[in-house]
Chain A
Amino acid sequence: MFGWGNCWSVPVCLHGICPGILFSMIMSFSSISTVSYIDELGHHDDNARLAPTMENTYQMGPYKRFPANAATDILKDVLTSYLQEEKYEVEWSQKMTKTLCEVIRARVKELMIPRYKIVILVHIGQLTGQSMQISSRCLWDTSNDTFASHFFKNSSLFGVASVYAIYFE
């Protein structure tokens, strides 16, 4: 039923629903994976809704481009002010990642760049000498869409924040 080229044991698949989040878990002998995605509860009856038809604006591109430099400054400012003197703790880090996301989103929205959709990603981790690599790749319109990212480190933790701005035509 599941095509795992190099897994030689029967995968176990579990599905579950938490309010607002659907997840499924697949386990094999050597690895475990969990998938989760957001399902807005209020939209269950909107599955058949078509995208709204907009009137033609005859606008060929954004009048104001997303300022990647200003976004980098915001990320630098937020990460430094929230993480500078902090020590890594599990509960605190969980809350702080979400807080940082909300704060960065509010600050980027204040830039008031119309017709841009924003995606913000924040990672906070403990420094124990482990190795880590974060990469991303995007399929978008390179003339209109852009991103900004910043990395912060102190003696016990590191923080990485990225902002992706996508133009909505």
Chain B
Amino acid sequence: MAETKVKSHNDDKPKPRVRPIVRLGIFLVSHSFLVSVVCCTSGVLALFLLPVLAKNTYISENALMPGSASPMLSNQHVLDGNRLVKDLTNSNLKSSETGIGSHKIIAQYMLDLGAEVSFHKFHPQMNQFHPLHFFSSPDSGKIQENYSCSSYGINTVGIIRAPRGDGKEAIVLVTPYNALKSGFGEALSLGIAYSVFSLLTQVTWLAKDIIWLVADSQFGEYAAVAAWLREYQTPKFSSSSTLNAEMCPDINNLFEIKVHSVAGSKFSNSFRRAGTMAAALVLKVRDQSEQFEDTISIYAEASNGQMPNLDLINVVNYLAVHRQGLRVNVEKLRSLLNSSWLKSLGEFFESLAKVAKRLNPKCKFGIPATEYVEGTATLASSLYYQALGVPTGPHGAFRDYQVDAITLEISPKFSLDKVWRNDILLRGGRLIEGVIRSVNNLLEKFHQSFFLYLLTSPSKFVSVGVYMIAFALLIAPLPMVAASLYVDANSSSNCSKGDSSTPPAITDADEHGITIRSWRWLNSAKLVFIVHLWGAIVSLLPYFICQIPDCSPTTSFVIWVLLSILSLLILNTVLASPLACVKASQVKEWALVKSVTISSVFIGLGLMSVINFATAEFGALLLVPMCLLAQPLKLDVRAGTLRSFCRIICNLVLGHIAFPPAAFFLLKGMLDGFGSANVGDFWMWVESLWAWNSATYLFIGMVQLPCWVLCVSILFHSC
């Protein structure tokens, strides 16, 4: 508009000065095509540059002092741990029906150390879709009636009180254990935890209480830990369902533990607590192992891409690498490791770095190509798991209560002899001891280091300040293109009118027409609003579909699709009917629709980047090109140039990819192969998303799907 104004003025007249920032804006808007191409490519490029820009991690909180004390875990404790492992495997061989025996053994061992022991009975809660429960704090759960005796789990909890501490804080150590069918790995993880626990009952340096939770993982590791945390943080004082559990005979059997030790151990029926949780460690040992050396994998992603404080990962990494000689591993996307294009990209960056280094020896830019490939694979998996919004382990339950937690999975190198077992007990135990000691040193809660980061290797990270640049570049063209489209749409209609009438004389009727025209975007806004409303309805539909009993995933999915289409049609006829008549009269209607769509996508992506960055990044990679390229196919066909031909192809491809189920199947096919794809899978996946309260689900339903529908409607626009 401003441009037209400038045009209309005479050159002779002294031009009114426009402020530089406005001038810059006008410049960018008028060159929006160039700007959007540059921004998008640089955004994607910046994303690929992230592994190169990753910084080395460092321990930010000085109080942690990892590894400054020599480990106290001795062979005596290891032998104790070994004893427990042996007892547990023996009891498993006897194969009791309910696994009560192994719970008893664990409790007895804890009692003998002088810990306070209690059992926590829980009933696994089915995760259900509550439309209004997104982002709400975890509540104490629905009371379900009629629990049967068979469906309960028993968590065994042992607590060591710090001898001279004031009991305000606690550190939690979790070992998932399935009493019914436990592998050797689980028993070994209990052995490690027990050896640490037996050490901690003797030490004098404890300032925080230690809670050892043996989580009954027969209903899943997460469910057990979440149930215990729910009881810990939001207990229900009035309940009738607990009575049912007491009626079960084998639970009562559990409480017949002989407390014949005098070491101050207490066994109680009631739930025991310690103070505010400072940190939590989940320890697992993998059963099968194929590595050449002992490795330890760190899982940190919690729900909605929340991460624990980076310092916690740093401490584990530092102690594992520099003290215990374990290899630390973070989850990678294996399929990326062998991709040749990534390797060549890495080599390109490497050579670029070499050139830069020649020019300026101080320049520390660039990493070797192999490292780059690994970093990218790690980064991709880090992004993927954050975007999914589903926690990668039981530690996710802690994050819901603002407790920093990670899962450590030790995968020992293959061997089964006793020396090896003792070795892994000793090293694993010393690692856990060191981490607990560091956290114990903390005066304040974890706050020094980053909470928003992406890992590119266990010792390298990209902080929020860096990765946001890539995202910002990617979505920066959106408002500009929206503005330029709006200006174009208005000006073109202006011009068409202006040709017919005489330019200097502006009549009243014209003025009226201009005001109407300037409000014309409201029609498109209405369309966009309706489609978004439809998106909200579509994302609520599964709640009702869930209520249908005995529905296979495939049929549910089909019902969902049918209902969605039906609701779209209804909404279109009920609400959007006046739009049709207006649409016919206008030429550049699609441009306005596109402009409003783009601005709504911009708002949606911006909001999502605050909630879950990774989802927003993936969404931006899909949606931004689609939104920017969308243009009615008819126009392109009519033009018939090479450029429009390219655009048609791009539009068609993107229109297919950006449809959420299509994107899902494509991703699944890339990861697992296309053979196993099934229509019901998407339903299952969506179900898992809402069960975990993942914001990704909301994003897909309320941003991506409406955007896709709008873009498709633009593509098939009749103009």
A and B associate: no
- List residues of chain B with CB under 8 Å of any chain A CB: none
